[in-house]
Chain A
Amino acid sequence: MEFTLKNFIFYGFALMTVGSALLVVTVRNIVHAAFSLMVTLFGVAGLYVFLQADFLAATQVIVYVGGILVLILFGVMMTSGRLEMRIHIERGQLLLGGVVSLALLMLLLTVIANTPAWKNLTDDGTELPPTTERIGELILNGPFLLPFEVVSVLLLVALIGAALISRKEVRD
């Protein structure tokens, strides 16, 4: 594998993603974990760019980093009253969880390595035109119109549901 700038950047992003994800699950300070998650999300967005998915990458940044992460931070503040919050981890549970997770990882890697259809599929490097327009077409004027509408209803339901559940007092 030749060492090009592109490869270099790719591996950089991959490392950034995996490394920060590792931090997310290991650090004890929940706020730090949240910031690590942000880095992970950025990394995934970078990987999307490598997959020629520009719109997806933008969405990832806007929705995840701009929305969900902020939401998580709010959750942290509202449940602990402060931004530093220690995460308790029990040794036994850690061990068991680690074993299962490792087994799962091994399993997945075996599958990835042994599936013939997935082998030797290299990126042909073709530059696709920007996807935003086509995604718009597909969502609003194509086969994904119905799912799109369903998802918007779902979002609405989630919004109302969230507001209802988190209300201070529930009158009957």
Chain B
Amino acid sequence: MTLQHYLVISAILFTLGIFAVLTRRNAISILMGIELILNSCNLNFAAFSRFMTPSTDISGQIIAIFGIVLAAAEAAVFLAIILAIYREFGSIRPDEVDTLKG
């Protein structure tokens, strides 16, 4: 296994996440896409930590842990917002929530 293996996997995950965020018509699916993106980031951190630094240095892993924590916080707030939006608009389709339309 080389670093590039991991980077490729992570790149694919990232792209899929972006794709979900761009195309899905459901806020929760978008959240899933975001989770994919965050996972690819964390994978990158762990991989770089393993390959680019001395094996005793595990700072990258800790950053990844922080990433997970942030993801958890983000998911909680995201779902809370979704609930609020659902109550307000009766829908969680992002294209229907367009109050900002010019």
Chain A residues within 8 Å of B, Cβ to Cβ: 7, 10, 14, 17-18, 21-22, 24-25, 30, 33-34, 37, 40-41, 44, 47-48, 50-53, 55-56, 59-60, 63-64, 67-68, 71-72, 74-76, 78-79, 85, 87-90, 93-94, 96-98, 100-102, 104-105, 108-109, 112-113, 117-124, 126, 128, 131, 134-135, 138-139, 144, 147, 151, 154-155, 158-159, 161-166, 168
Contacts and interface: CB of A to CB of B under 8 A. Distances in A.
Given A37-B35, A94-B23, A108-B15, 7 more contacts: A25-B36, A30-B29, A53-B61, A60-B42, A87-B25, A88-B25, A112-B4
Contact of A151 (B1, B12, B69): B69
B9 interface: yes
Interface residues of B, number: 70
17 contacts: A25-B19, A37-B36, A63-B72, A67-B75, A72-B28, A72-B79, A75-B79, A97-B22, A122-B2, A123-B2, A128-B55, A135-B62, A138-B59, A147-B66, A154-B73, A155-B72, A158-B77
10 smallest beta-carbon distances between A and B, as pairs: A97-B22, A158-B73, A162-B80, A97-B23, A108-B11, A101-B19, A166-B80, A105-B15, A165-B80, A25-B20
Contacts of B73: 154-155, 158-159
Contacts, number: 231
B71 A123 contact: no
A39 to B, nearest CB: 12
B31 A75 contact: yes
Contact of A79 (B1, B9, B20, B86): B86
B11 A151 contact: no
A133 to B, nearest CB: 11
A25 to B, nearest CB: 4
Interface of B: 1-9, 11-20, 22-29, 31-33, 35-36, 39, 42-43, 46-47, 49-52, 55-56, 58-59, 61-62, 64-66, 68-77, 79-84, 86-87, 92-93
Contacts of B62: 135, 138-139, 144
